């Protein structure tokens, strides 16, 4: 297992390097610059700002300088947020995105997995068809449609929740539901498919023949192999929930990294965008590694492959 973890970590290094390189090239190819819209500055002031931040150096020099600072853990200064380096911005905003992603993931898991398992226990029944219909609805409706709809209904019409902000626990409900709805739908479909594949197996019939109750058969024997596809999906899902909440954070004015990323892209804040790309790539690699470890712990075949 240790060899497997080290191998996965080594695999992540070229992926991170390629991500940083591609992001660096693309953001430099975008028209404009960090100080192009600063009307309060004269042309000479803008040239001095570019010289101060090293933006007047050749692009290869800027690239290797950024890589050197990155190896030291320095993501650079923000060009738009004065006296707020990118490291501090991430430290301040990531807990908000992490909390939103955790709430959305909890909502998706608590709703999607039980719904999918119950649907698999009664295939082709009315409950199964209703569950899959709601799952299809959750997959098809995008967050930029679902979010405003929930805000209009529960905030503006009923007045139960706030349409924006991040002050109280009530402010977290609508963003978490909006962000987690599609993932709950995917989890329901994956849980149903995995359980339907496992339930006809011989070891399930053997467990029933031994006199175990239906609940015991499901909990002790069917859930672990039946939920393997769900565990495989949870890694990218968790990473997506934590790092991919750009639309939801913007809709509900959540002060997380998603809103900062959008603002940095509009402002051509090179170091902020690059720092967030690096941070997101590292988070996604970490979640994928955790999922691989969990799959190896759940499936003996994977453990045997690691040992070989």
pLDDT of residue 176: 92
Cβ neighbors of 35 (< 8 A, separation 6 or more) are 41, 46, 49, 50, 79
Q: Are 66 and 24 in contact (CB under 8 A)?
A: yes
Cβ neighbors of 50 (< 8 A, separation 6 or more) are 33, 35, 56
Average pLDDT by consecutive 10-residue portion of the chain (308 residues)? 74 86 85 65 72 81 90 86 87 90 92 90 87 89 89 89 84 91 91 87 83 80 81 79 80 86 83 89 82 69 52
Q: Which CATH number fits domain 89-267: 1.10.287.3240, 1.10.3720.10, 1.25.10.10, 3.30.70.2740?
A: 1.10.3720.10
pLDDT of residue 218: 83
Whole-angstrom distance, CA of residue 294 vs CA of residue 227:
12
Sorted by where each begins, the domain ranges of the chain are 89-267
The residue among 191, 255, 265, 258 whose CA lies nearest residue 229 is 191
**CA dihedral defined by 25, 30, 31, 33, rounded to 10 degrees?**
-70
User: 3-class SS at 186?
Assistant: helix
pLDDT of residue 49: 75
For the whole model, what pTM was predicted?
0.78
Query: Residue 306 — left, alpha, or beta (φ > 0 → left; ψ -120 to 50 → alpha)?
Result: alpha
The residue among 85, 26, 24 whose CA lies nearest residue 53 is 85
pLDDT of residue 304: 55
pLDDT of residue 305: 55
């Amino acid at each position: 297992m240790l060899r497997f973890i080290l191998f996965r970590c080594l695999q992540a290094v070229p992926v991170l390097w390629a991500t940083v390189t591609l992001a660096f090239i693309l953001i430099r190819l975008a028209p404009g610059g960090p100080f192009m819209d600063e009307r309060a500055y004269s042309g000479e002031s803008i040239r001095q700002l570019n010289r101060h931040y090293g933006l007047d150096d050749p692009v290869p020099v800027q690239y290797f300088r950024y890589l050197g600072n990155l190896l030291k853990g320095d993501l650079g200064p923000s060009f738009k947020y004065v006296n707020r380096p990118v490291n501090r911005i991430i430290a301040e905003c990531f807990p908000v995105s992490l909390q939103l992603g955790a709430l959305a993931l909890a909502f998706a898991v608590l709703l999607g997995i039980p719904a999918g398992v119950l649907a698999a226990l009664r295939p082709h029944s009315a409950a199964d068809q209703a569950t899959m219909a709601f799952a299809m609805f959750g997959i098809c409706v995008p967050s930029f449609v679902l979010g405003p709809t929930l805000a209009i209904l529960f905030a503006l019409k009923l007045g139960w929740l706030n349409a924006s902000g991040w002050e109280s626990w009530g402010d977290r409900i609508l963003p978490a539901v909006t962000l987690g709805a599609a993932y709950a739908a995917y989890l329901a479909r994956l849980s149903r498919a995995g359980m339907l594949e496992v339930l006809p197996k011989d070891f399930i019939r053997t467990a029933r023949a031994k006199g175990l109750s239906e609940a015991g058969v499901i909990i002790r024997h069917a859930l672990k192999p039946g939920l393997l596809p769900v565990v495989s999906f949870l890694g990218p899902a968790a990473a997506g929930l934590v790092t991919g909440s750009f639309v939801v954070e913007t809709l509900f004015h959540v002060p997380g990294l998603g809103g900062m990323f959008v603002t940095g892209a509009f402002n051509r804040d090179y170091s902020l965008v690059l720092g967030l790309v690096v941070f997101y790539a590292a988070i996604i690699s970490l979640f994928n590694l955790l999922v691989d470890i969990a799959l190896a712990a759940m499936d003996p075949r994977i453990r045997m492959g690691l040992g070989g």
